[in-house]
Amino acid sequence: MSTHTPHPDLSPPITNVGVIGWMRTNLFSSWPNAILTIAAAFVIFATIPPLVEWAFIKADWVGDSRDACTSGGACWVFVGVRFNQFMYGLYPEAEYWRINLAAVLIVALMIPLFIKRFPWKLGLGLFILVGYPIIVFFLFSGGIFGLEYVETSRWGGLTLTLVLASVGMAASFPLGILLALGRRSTMPIVKSVSVVFIEFWRGVPLITVLFMSSVMLPLFLPEGTHFDKLLRAMIGIALFQSAYMAEVVRGGLQAIPKGQYEAAQALGLSFWKSMGLIILPQALKLVIPGIVNTFIALFKDTTLVLIIGLFDMLAMIEAALADPNWLGYAIEGLTFAAFVYWIFCFSMSRYSMALERKLHTGHAR
């Protein structure tokens, strides 16, 4: 008795698998698609090779004056010579170690937060939010423990950008939560005060807020009060961003089903307990992307302080462009700045995506 042995399967046509198959489905599936592909490829070939040649192949990397830039490509020497100023602003050079120390400290403090089984996460987190800023403030401004006093007008560069951004984040987050709760409140006056506050700050551009904080705050305060310029900018940024934060948090609060509120009440929890233990943990988790987007917007908005005369990184670069020894290197300077800002913003957005996936418990299909 002969058994039936099926003929071995024919391999799929060469045009449907492998590189050719992939290209046929993804690049050349139809005539219009093929034309699009060719157009896109043309765009890539017209931009990428000259860009790489300018930024890497023909670029000058080492040197200490513009005479070193002879190859015709990018002159990164400009960025190299000015690098310390871009990072530390006008901070006295002998005191750079303080800023470096603060940077090392925050990295060291953050590492345990990423270790899954680290036991004192909450305490450490609170220390980072409350204790660390105090340490950094005294470290940067000095005046005690024999540290030289450095006034805030000498803070600058990327350091100032990061200080502004982190203070803005730390201040706008709790304020935003309070405003969001106020807007959802059943008390009519609390509600209308929150609505007016939020809509006012959301309706005006940040520049006018900064102008207001630098021109009008001195008028608002009693005669002779000295108010630090940096602090004024920080207050403006924090108030402005808290309104945006409030709207993001409100979105999360609205998404929590009414049953959760009722269940918390039925358990006899007070308002603050039911918010803190039941509602906010769920609501904030829902709006992580929105919160991180607000943080990214805040980080980008810190550049606006250059208009009221603070020297953040972009302002340092703008000042460097006006240096008569280095005229004509605007592209290099601004490209470097764009790269630094891009790294920060892009990694924040990627981190939020990862966090979102990690916290996505339940409801996932």
Footprint of another protein (CB under 8 A): 26-27, 29, 33, 36-37, 40-41, 43-44, 186-190, 193, 199-200, 202-208, 211-212, 215-216, 218-223, 296, 300-301, 303-304, 306-307, 314, 318, 321, 328, 330-331, 334-335, 337-338, 341-342, 345-346, 349
Q: How far apart are CA 174 and CA 151, in angstroms?
A: 28
Nearer to another protein, 110 or 338 (CB): 338
- Least distance (Å) between residue 341 CB and another protein: 5
- Least distance (Å) between residue 108 CB and another protein: 27
Nearer to another protein, 15 or 100 (CB): 15
Residue 240's nearest CA partner among 297, 323, 285, 193 is 297
User: 28 Cβ partners below 8 Å, 6+ apart?
Assistant: 34, 37
Beta bridge partners of 75: 60
Angle formed at CA 104 by CA 99 and CA 108, multiple of 5 degrees: 150
- Least distance (Å) between residue 42 CB and another protein: 11
- Least distance (Å) between residue 48 CB and another protein: 11
Residue 341's nearest CA partner among 299, 290, 309, 289 is 299
Nearer to another protein, 41 or 231 (CB): 41
Q: How far apart are CA 59 and CA 87, in angstroms?
A: 22
Whether residue 249 contacts residue 176, with contact meaning beta carbons closer than 8 Å, is answered with yes
Q: How far apart are CA 275 and CA 208, in angstroms?
A: 35
Nearer to another protein, 246 or 296 (CB): 296
Cα 305 → chain centroid: 16
Q: How far apart are CA 267 and CA 303, in angstroms?
A: 48
- Least distance (Å) between residue 315 CB and another protein: 10
User: 342 Cβ partners below 8 Å, 6+ apart?
Assistant: none
- Least distance (Å) between residue 151 CB and another protein: 24
**Token digits of residue 354:** 């990862």
Matching residue, tokens 């810190």: 302
Nearer to another protein, 98 or 183 (CB): 183
Whether residue 69 contacts residue 75, with contact meaning beta carbons closer than 8 Å, is answered with yes
Whether residue 289 contacts residue 354, with contact meaning beta carbons closer than 8 Å, is answered with no
Nearer to another protein, 256 or 330 (CB): 330
Nearer to another protein, 96 or 344 (CB): 344
Matching residue, tokens 């609060």: 253
- Least distance (Å) between residue 81 CB and another protein: 18
- Least distance (Å) between residue 294 CB and another protein: 13
Nearer to another protein, 134 or 219 (CB): 219
